[in-house]
Structure 1
Amino acid sequence: MPRPGNKEELIEASRGNFEKLNTLIDSYSSEELEKEFPEGTLNRNIRDMLAHLHHWHLMLMEWYETGMKGVKPEMPAKGYSWKTLPELNKKIQEKYRHEPIHKVREMLGDSFYRTQEIITSHTNEELFEKKRYIWTGSTSLGAYLISNTSSHYNWAFNLIRKSMK
């Protein structure tokens, strides 16, 4: 599916890729859900992947809430830069590593729903006009939403599928 270019496509891609990801996860047995991924991947299992997606939803919502108040949010997170993403992602993995997968799935479902509320609350222009909001810089709100929803779910789907072979 090509990168969404409008609100309707963003809704379709984010919901569709989220559903595709959940369908894949539902296809695994309880034992498979606990299976460790091959060495070399930061996220060591499906739980880690889902926690990663959930936490990035939370960060997106924080950027959004701060940015819509006219304040420049700390992105990607306080104390981290885009160049230090590996360290941030390691911190995220460590934060959730003791959570049971069913709880992580519940948290992800909740944060997914909240990201969808952001998408549906905006017009196409509010989502896809570049430089509309100071906090999004030279890009659009939609670009941030795509990166943290449809594209992120597709990345997770592909990594899980590859790691479960």
Structure 2
Amino acid sequence: MAVPATKADLLAVIDKTFAQLERDLDRVPPVAAREPVLDGHVKNTMMSPADLLAYLIGWNQQVLTWHRRRAEGLPDELPAPGIKWNELGVLAQCYYAEHEAETWDELRAQLRDAKDSIVDLIEGYSDAELYGQPWYGKWMMGRMISFNTSSPYTNARGRIRAWLRTSNHPRV
């Protein structure tokens, strides 16, 4: 899939990749949602499908936090307070822990809400704001949003699909 270069492209790729991910998440048996069956975001660790959703929720919410902080005139804290870019595995584990008590259905609803909030955020920007100038380092705002929405949705879908192909769980 081509890297989005306009607001319309960004919205379309988020819509498409999220819809594809949702279809595959529908196939995950809720009874298996907390089983550590996927490679984790830290080398030599395992995570559950629920952890994967927590990761996606966390990154979507992180994008929203970046934009809220900028709108409030606060300094950037990227990727997250106290976390460096080379410590993303630590951040992933924070996301897992933050959502460890939530059910599969609750996680699915939160992911949909986070994605919808990202879409609302994008709707408030013009093409020039999203792609006309660097927003963080060399990265355009639209690309930073894509890095943390459609790209991880695609990655998560691949992980879920690979597991489902080899899983002994009955499909729902």
User: What TM-score, normalized to structure 1?
Assistant: 0.89
Greater shift in the superposed pair: 67-76 or 100-109: 67-76
Instruction: Tell me which residue corresponds to 1:119.
Output: 122
Instruction: Tell me which residue corresponds to 1:150.
Output: 150
Instruction: Write the distance in 2 (CA, Å) between the matches of 1:33 and 1:83.
Output: 28
State whether structure 2 residue 84 is matched by structure 1 residue 85: no
Instruction: Tell me which residue corresponds to 1:102.
Output: 105
In 2, are the aligned partners of 1:14 and 1:149 still within 8 Å (CA)?
A: yes
Instruction: Write the distance in 2 (CA, Å) between the matches of 1:30 and 1:71.
Output: 40
Alpha-carbon shift at residue 32 of structure 1 (Å): 4.4
In the alignment, residue 163 of structure 1 is paired with which amino acid? W
Alpha-carbon shift at residue 2 of structure 1 (Å): 1.1
In 2, are the aligned partners of 1:52 and 1:92 still within 8 Å (CA)?
A: yes
Alpha-carbon shift at residue 34 of structure 1 (Å): 4.6
Instruction: Write the distance in 1 (CA, Å) between the matches of 2:30 and 2:109.
Output: 16
Instruction: Tell me which residue corresponds to 1:71.
Output: 74
Instruction: Write the distance in 2 (CA, Å) between the matches of 1:29 and 1:95.
Output: 22
Runs of 4+ in 1 over 2 A off after TM superposition: 27-36, 40-43, 68-72
Structure 1, unaligned stretches of length 5 or more? none
User: Which structure 2 residues correspond to residues 12-91 of structure 1 after superposition, within 5 A?
Assistant: 12-38=12-38, 40-42=39-41, 44-91=47-94
Instruction: Write the distance in 2 (CA, Å) between the matches of 1:71 and 1:91.
Output: 23
In 2, are the aligned partners of 1:25 and 1:33 still within 8 Å (CA)?
A: no
Count of residues in correspondence between the two structures: 161
Q: 1:140 to 1:69 in 2, by over 3 A?
A: farther
User: What TM-score, normalized to structure 2?
Assistant: 0.85
Alpha-carbon shift at residue 8 of structure 1 (Å): 1.0
SS in 1 for 2:59: helix
Deviations 1:28-69 (A, max 9, x none): 33344454315x424622111111111111111111111233
Instruction: Write the distance in 1 (CA, Å) between the matches of 2:15 and 2:162.
Output: 22
Q: Which has the higher helix share?
A: 1
Pairwise CA RMSD: 1.7
In 2, are the aligned partners of 1:56 and 1:148 still within 8 Å (CA)?
A: yes
Structure 2, unaligned stretches of length 5 or more? 167-172
In 2, are the aligned partners of 1:46 and 1:160 still within 8 Å (CA)?
A: yes
SS in 2 for 1:28: coil
